[in-house]
């Protein structure tokens, strides 16, 4: 592995973990997904140009998250007695800084919790589309490439996600 690829992976690991954690609601599953994504990136795409890495990385991450949901759906169908509905959103370090006022940190933390719950409630494709477009800052074209669908589909998923999130967050009594 080249040092530039290692630097790239180090620069995306926290955001990738957050995306996977939001999608899986389980920190261990999220870590497994990110580790698998990084392993595939190194194994199959280390010879690609660095400018291609972000789209490739997030496509692999997206595919791994979708695979997780397919496997989970299968497990839930046949092993329904072993379901675990544990939610874990206890690390807000990516959203705040040490310079923040403690009172503001509490408010931010509550708002982040509400936002994460709202994002969690989105259908998987809307969730991934929203995270790639809004959080990662990918263009419509790049998001379509990552999710392997048309730009029109991305616009629809994103629009529906924003409307649902806005509605859910407006309905809170905060």
Predicted local distance difference test score (pLDDT) of residue 70:
81
How confident is the model over 86-100, as a mean pLDDT?
A: 44
Is the pTM higher than 0.75?
Answer: no
**6-62 pLDDT, tens digit each:** 999 999 999 999 999 988 888 999 999 999 999 999 999 999 999 999 999 999 999
pLDDT band at 75 (very low <50, low <70, confident <90, very high): low
> 94, 14 in Cβ contact below 8 A?
yes
pLDDT at residue 174 is higher than 70: no
Region of 137 on the Ramachandran plot (φ > 0 left; ψ -120 to 50 alpha; else beta) = left
Residue with tokens 């261990």, as numbered in its chain: 28
Predicted local distance difference test score (pLDDT) of residue 96:
42
Predicted local distance difference test score (pLDDT) of residue 135:
79
pLDDT band at 89 (very low <50, low <70, confident <90, very high): very low
**99-156 pLDDT, tens digit each:** 445 555 555 556 677 788 888 889 999 999 998 988 788 999 999 999 999 999 999 9
Q: HSE (CB half, 13 Å, CA atoms) of 60?
A: 22
Question: What's domain 100-174's architecture?
Answer: Orthogonal Bundle (1.10)
Residue 19 has a CB neighbour count (10 Å cut-off) of 25
CATH number of 1-88: 1.10.1740
Instruction: List the chain domain ranges.
Output: 1-88, 100-174
């Amino acid at each position: 592995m080249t040092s530039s690829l290692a630097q790239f992976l180090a620069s995306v690991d926290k955001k990738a973990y957050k995306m996977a954690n939001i999608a899986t609601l389980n920190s261990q599953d999220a870590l497994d997904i990110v580790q698998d994504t990084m392993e595939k990136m190194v194994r199959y795409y280390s010879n690609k140009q660095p400018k291609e890495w972000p789209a490739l990385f997030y496509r692999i991450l997206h595919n791994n998250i979708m695979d997780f949901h397919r496997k989970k759906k299968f497990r839930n169908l046949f092993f329904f007695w072993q379901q675990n509905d544990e939610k874990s959103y206890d690390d807000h370090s990516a959203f705040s800084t040490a310079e923040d006022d403690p009172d503001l940190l509490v408010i931010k933390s509550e708002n982040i919790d509400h936002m994460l719950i709202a994002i969690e409630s989105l259908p998987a494709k809307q969730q991934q589309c929203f995270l790639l477009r809004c959080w990662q800052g990918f263009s419509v074209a790049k998001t379509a490439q990552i999710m392997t669908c048309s730009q029109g589909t991305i616009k629809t998923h994103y629009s529906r996600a924003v409307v649902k999130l806005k509605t859910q967050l407006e309905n809170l009594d905060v």
